[in-house]
Chains A and B, each alone.
Chain A
Amino acid sequence: MYKILNVKQLSEEIKSMVISAPEIAKKAKPGQFIVLRIDENGERIPLTINDFDAKTGSITIIFQEVGKTTRKLGMLKKGDSLIDVAGPLGHPGKVEKLGTVVCIGGGVGVAVVYPEVRALKEIGNTVISIIGARNRDMVILEDKMREISDELHVTTDDGSYGRKGVVTDPLKEILMKKKADLVIAIGPIIMMKFVCLMTKEFDVPTIVNLNPIMVDGTGMCGSCRVTVGDETKFACVDGPEFNGHLVDFDELTNRNARFLNEEKEPCRCKKDS
């Protein structure tokens, strides 16, 4: 059993949770994820390790309540336990001193990009960050991101906070003004796709962090397969980070809709009851 040490509400749909998992806390690196199961009937879902502390033996996850499992997770309180937490999984993000790096987080993707931004900054890069969200309530980790960024831009779809528009608006201006050595984009597939289209024009290498549907997270099922270049990759072991210019985002969008019909059902049941 893995004890929940703390829960914080970051926005209406997004929570952060600190979990006791000493073995994972000891080994985790930015960019890696865990697979968790809430209870005996639960499914295995992947979530990025947002923060980790080997001393206290704890890890932090930040999740958006989008479906059955994340909603169930959102109902748990400090002192409750998760039945299974496995990790750290996936390759850590490459942290190199490159010069100027633009880091983009869309929605809950800010939580995923955060540990890498911090590592990139610590090693001496100039970091320009962009946070994109649907509306004011969905903007998370703004202060923490500001602390570790040389420059921070915030956009909202509806203009309720920061600048009205999408992350590619400030990105374009930045790329026109100066030379970026790397762009990291983590967020909804559609956002990553458009960022990559733009950075390709500007010829800036771009890394994305993919979120296909997973089961084991250890390379034994192929549920997470994605097309990168002309190869099929298993995102859980070959990724989750890939060269964004080679990713087939449309295929990933289709594949993430594989269980849409089935997943609607339990949510409906819950509302009815």
Chain B
Amino acid sequence: MQKRLLMPEQLPQDRIKNFNEVALGYTEDQAVAEAKRCLQCKKAPCMPGCPVEVDIPGFIKRVAGRKFPEALDILRKKNNLPAICGRVCPQETQCEIVCTLKKKGEPVAIGRLERFAADWGRTHSSPITHNQSSNTRLKPLAAVIGAGPAGLTCAGDLAKTGWDVTIFESLHAPGGVLRYGIPEFRMPRDVLDYEIKYVENLGAEIKPNIIVGRTVTIDELFATGYKAIFIGTGAGFPYFLGIPGENYNGVYSANEFLTRANLMKAYKFPEYDTPLRIGKKVAVVGAGNVAMDSARVARRLGAEKVCIIYRRSRSEMPARAEEIHHAEEEGIELDLLTLPIEIIGDDKGWVKQVKCLKMRLGEPDDSGRRRPVKIDGSEYLEDIDTIVIAIGQGPNPLLLSQTPGLKLNKRGNIIVDDITGETSLEGVYAGGDIVTGAATVIEAMGAGKRVARAINEKHG
């Protein structure tokens, strides 16, 4: 059997000096060759693996036949943001894991092909302008709160089905985590801008600098005529460890660190005005995608040593395998089975050291993963001058606390109907990380899609 084609990448020694994209994408010939590996299974086990129901064999068949515009049309039918999904989706646990070829060897590189088709479209045509219907009938108004993947998807689908949609975004630029969290070397901003433009061209208007809950409330939106409201405000509230010394200078939440670097472009300081101070030795606490991104940004900003501190072992690391692999190639060290218990500062309030304990794995816990157990007497000190806390994010209470009657669960996430996404408030829907807790881009998109359908059925 033919082997899965590797995608060209920037070499580690080069890429740690720039913020350009690491993975370079297939050429046309490579894409066609990879697409030809697809068996075009009748039952297509890959399709149920995709939360937005993309016709995977269909688009791959068009790539194999060099019908790239058709391939993209098929993708766009279900997925408003294919260039994004092709880059950041965990295909290895979704569509590719159930690929028939996987049983015998390596699955078809579905994600890379999706990326190829979307990129081909971007470089060969301008965004398709949707036929703004000449229909003079007044369209019903829908409001979408948050311009992350959930909100963008919901807005795009609503616009497609004849709604007049406005997206309210609290930051000055749309994209959600794709803008402020995921660095440019994984998600180039021209790609992101193009995909967002596509949603705008479908007819959705994006209003930045509107903090719903402060600038305007949900009740006020209803009063101005919106018939349905979708909340897609994400999981933007950063958790800290709760250990002594966390407020020393040099300790950042991953959100602050990445927002400064990505949204505010601190990596181009002083051309851009926002600073980000980075030391020689950086420790990142946590082992998810957020931690990998933080570590790799620190590396590119010139840190000599960057280590990941994680209390469990390698097999429990929640980051995508590809991200861990890329991080290690870039010289990022993994301090596994290690728990930070105190941050020690100097007399001016700057981080100097971190005190850690070694752990071992015990019995499985509720999550099914083996519980880390402290090893007595294993304390040690590590010299460090920057610490990034990347142990997770929760729901931001700002809007929720200003919306009486909205039912939340214990963790502060919005409770919704599984199928329609409707909340405890009539006409108010929610989806994405604000409902599920920090999850994935594609799950947020899937939720946005389901809600758009439900809104259209009930109120359209």
Contacts and interface: CB of A to CB of B under 8 A. Distances in A.
A251 B247 contact: yes
Interface in A92-111: none
Interface string B116-135: 00000000000000000000
Contact of A37 (B172, B210, B269, B349): B172
Interface stretch (B137-145, B149-157, B182-190, B232-240): B232-240
B236 A87 contact: no
Contact of B255 (A27, A42, A222, A269): A222
Contacts of B349: 251, 254-255, 257
Q: Is the interface of A mostly helix, strand, loop or mixed?
A: mixed
A3 interface: no
A210 to B, nearest CB: 13
Interface string A148-165: 000000000000000000
A83 interface: yes
B249 A265 contact: no
20 contacts: A27-B216, A41-B265, A44-B264, A84-B209, A86-B209, A89-B214, A218-B214, A220-B255, A220-B259, A221-B253, A221-B256, A223-B256, A226-B247, A232-B247, A254-B248, A259-B275, A259-B277, A262-B269, A262-B276, A266-B270
Interface of A: 23-24, 27, 37, 41-44, 68-69, 83-89, 215-216, 218-223, 225-227, 232, 237, 251, 254-255, 257-259, 261-263, 265-266, 269
A41 B267 CA distance: 12
Best-surrounded residue of B210, B240, B247, B252 (most CB of chain A within 10 A): B247
B373 interface: no
B353 interface: no
A41 B265 CA distance: 8
A37 B209 CA distance: 11
A258 B249 contact: yes
Interface in B226-251: 236-238, 240, 246-250
Contacts of B269: 262
Nearest to B389: A222
B396 interface: yes
B136 interface: no
Contacts of A83: 172
A85 B207 CA distance: 12
A220 B396 contact: yes
Nearest to B260: A215
Interface residues of B, number: 42
A85 to B, nearest CB: 6
B249 A257 contact: yes
A35 B264 CA distance: 14
Contacts of B208: 84
A87 B215 contact: yes
B247 A41 contact: no
Interface string B181-213: 000000000000000000000000000111100
A259 B397 CA distance: 29
B220 to A, nearest CB: 9
A218 B398 contact: yes
A225 to B, nearest CB: 6
Interface in B348-396: 348-350, 396
Contacts of A258: 249-250, 277
B274 interface: yes
A98 to B, nearest CB: 26
A220 B176 CA distance: 12
B271 interface: yes
B273 interface: yes
Contacts of A221: 238, 253, 255-256, 259
A233 B348 CA distance: 21
B247 A43 contact: no
A37 B208 CA distance: 12
B397 A41 contact: no
A251 B272 CA distance: 28
Given A88-B214, A262-B275, A269 B270 contact: yes
| Those 9 A-B pairs whose CB atoms lie nearest each other, nearest first | A254-B349, A262-B275, A221-B256, A86-B209, A220-B236, A43-B273, A43-B274, A222-B253, A84-B172
Contacts of A68: 273
A224 to B, nearest CB: 9
Most-contacted residue by chain A among B208, B214, B396, B397 (CB, 10 A): B214
A232 B244 CA distance: 11
A88 B215 contact: yes
Contacts of B253: 221-222
Contact of A232 (B246, B265, B398): B246
Given A42-B273, A220-B236, A227 B215 contact: no
A225 B272 CA distance: 24
A41 B259 contact: no
B284 to A, nearest CB: 15
Contacts of A41: 265, 271-273
Interface in B49-98: none
Given A27-B214, A255-B349, A218 B247 contact: no
B170 A222 contact: no
A181 B265 CA distance: 47
B273 A219 contact: no
Nearest to B238: A222
A76 to B, nearest CB: 15
B397 A219 contact: yes
B215 A27 contact: yes
Given A220-B259, A221-B253, 8 more contacts: A27-B214, A44-B264, A86-B209, A88-B215, A222-B253, A232-B246, A232-B247, A259-B275
A72 to B, nearest CB: 8
Contacts of B238: 220-222
A255 B271 CA distance: 24
A250 B264 CA distance: 28
Nearest to B275: A262
Contact of A23 (B216, B246, B264, B272): B216
Nearest to B217: A27
B171 interface: yes
Contacts of B256: 215, 221-223
Find the residue from A69, A86, A223 having the highest chain B CB count within 10 A.
A86
B214 A87 contact: yes
Contacts of B274: 43-44, 215
A85 B171 CA distance: 10
